[in-house]
Amino acid sequence: MTVVPVLMAGGSGTRLWPLSRAHYPKQFLRLLDHDSLLQATVRRAQQIDGAVAPLVIGNERHRFIIAEQLQELGLEHPGILLEPEGRNTAPVAAVAAHHVAKLYGDDAIVFLMAADQTVTDVAAFQASAGKAAGAAAAGRLVTFGIQPQRPETGFGYVHVGAPLTVVPGAFEVSGFFEKPSLDKAQQYLREGGYYWNGGMFMFKAGTFLAELQTLEPDMHSHALAALDGATRDLDFLRLDAESFKACRSDSIDYAVMEKSRNIALVPLDAGWDDVGSWSFLGLTPASDEHGNHVRGQGLMEDSHRNLVQARRRLVAMLGVDDCVVVESDDAILVAARDRVQDVGRLVKRLQALKRPEAESLPRVARPWGHYETVALGDRFQVKRITVKPGHKLSLQMHHHRAEHWVVVRGTAKVTCGEREYLVSEDQSTYIPLGTTHRVENPGKVPLEMIEVQSGAYLGEDDIVRFDDVYGRRAE
């Protein structure tokens, strides 16, 4: 039995601001340990019986972050599918099923899951996945029902019916229910038989496509056209934009699962969480006897039941109860613990104000490494640039700024106009305004430089690219 994990990595995760940003959303964050949520999902998927290399589907703007995080795991994969724009989960599932059918055949099993969730009991996860694979092999479209731990109003629910006699551990589904009121959620918990809808599904590629053809024939054909018209770009498969955008934006729940008569549910009790807000910190062990949950540097004095995420600086709290404090390099969130679901409203205000804190972190990932803004003022900007061994920036030019580079680690190979030369540690070079230039790392260790920009305009869109090994166009 061939199981193909399909990881959906295109979400935005605005409720985890200020760490999650539009250009670096939560699935790429290392919130709990050394692995990002995406990497942890990959490792978990690889432990399923019969699993092959996972297929990752993400947004074009995140393509190099995805590729780098998969490379860190040493993962061989069939290519990263790129959505030209987000169209919810149903078109993603349709494209994935078509792609899996082409690669492995109609009987291959698709395991569709989000790349930004956590599971603490991997053995229980494997056991449920094995039962689901059996139900999928028997021709069912399987949804996973998360064993509820509390009366949650932020999730949809699924109600189970009779057990499936031919598939041990699986059940019929008697109904899907939208996010309930608190009273209704408490009722679900008392009555039993209601599970959280965790957004994970398993099915044979051919079974899903046949159901999609019946329920959503336009989406079936547009998704196939998007895949047939896809173009290969390095490790990426760019879906045809016109065909993919023609797919109606809808979730797999609404488009297929809630309409099909061929659904089965497999319960999952494995310490699952969707990491949908900062309240997930409360699921980690308390750091003191007062119910505070602190990750990083925190000093609590006469403070109770607070959730703190501190990355670099000390967070000290005095006489404060039931608050959430999240510290990042350029912003600090302070919120009442019962208001963390509303953080997305702050992000919308930041976007309306065109604040950079809504879009990017000070440290910005690039395919060649990363850069970090150290200082920004009138007509100048200072960046710390790190270039990975063997990588190089595009051959480029700026209309509005000049640059000074100081190498603090490694060796830089610099192109400046017609000249090409090496710059070693403690040496510097100057790139005049309007001069074609490039830097690359010919060494075995990361190249670190301090870049001082000066000029009338310092925006990242002041780049004219003449050559780029990563296929990027002029910004």
DSSP letter for each residue of 393-436: PPEEE-SSEEEEEEEEES-EEEEETTEEEEE-TT-EEEE-TT--
Is 426 part of any domain?
yes
Indicate if 384 and 337 belong to the same structural domain: no
Give the separation between CA 201 and CA 102, rounded to whole angstroms. Answer: 20
Indicate if 398 and 293 belong to the same structural domain: no
Indicate if 232 and 328 belong to the same structural domain: no
Is 191 part of any domain?
yes
Report the CATH number that the domain containing residue 86 is assigned in CATH.
Answer: 3.90.550.10
Indicate if 301 and 391 belong to the same structural domain: no
Contact 471, 409 (CB under 8 A): no
Nearest to 113 by CA among 323, 341, 268: 268
CA angle 429, 432, 437 (to 5 degrees): 70
pLDDT of residue 472: 74
Indicate if 282 and 248 belong to the same structural domain: no
Listed in sequence order, the DSSP H helices in 171-316 are 182-191, 205-215, 217-228, 241-245, 252
Indicate if 115 and 13 belong to the same structural domain: yes
pLDDT of residue 152: 85
Is 106 part of any domain?
yes
Is 472 part of any domain?
no
Spell out, as residue ranges, where the chain has pLDDT lower than 70.
473-475
pLDDT of residue 473: 64
Is 424 part of any domain?
yes
**Residue 241 CB-density burial (10 A; 0-12 exposed, 13-18 middle, 19+ buried):** middle
Neighbours of 314 (CB within 10 A): 10
Helix (H, G, I), strand (E, B) or coil at 276: coil
- The total domain count for the chain is 3
Report the CATH number that the domain containing residue 402 is assigned in CATH.
Answer: 2.60.120.10
CA 394 vs CA 4, 232, 428, 441: distances in Å: 36, 20, 20, 12
Indicate if 254 and 135 belong to the same structural domain: yes
Indicate if 434 and 412 belong to the same structural domain: yes
pLDDT of residue 153: 84
Q: Provide, rounded to the nearest whole percent, the portion of the chain with pLDDT above 90.
A: 77
- Quick: pLDDT tens for 369-409: 999 998 888 999 999 999 999 999 999 999 999 999 999 99
pLDDT of residue 475: 47
Domain residues for the domain of 81 are 3-273
At a CB cut-off of 8 Å and minimum separation 6, what does 34 contact? none
Is 416 part of any domain?
yes
pLDDT of residue 118: 92
Indicate if 250 and 303 belong to the same structural domain: no
- Quick: pLDDT tens for 219-254: 999 999 999 999 998 889 999 999 999 999 999 999
Indicate if 265 and 146 belong to the same structural domain: yes
Longest distance between any two alpha carbons in the chain, whole Å: 76
Q: Provide, rounded to the nearest whole percent, the portion of the chain with pLDDT above 70.
A: 99
- Quick: pLDDT tens for 162-210: 998 888 889 999 999 988 899 999 999 999 999 999 899 999 999 999 9
Indicate if 249 and 201 belong to the same structural domain: yes
Helix (H, G, I), strand (E, B) or coil at 105: coil
pTM score: 0.88
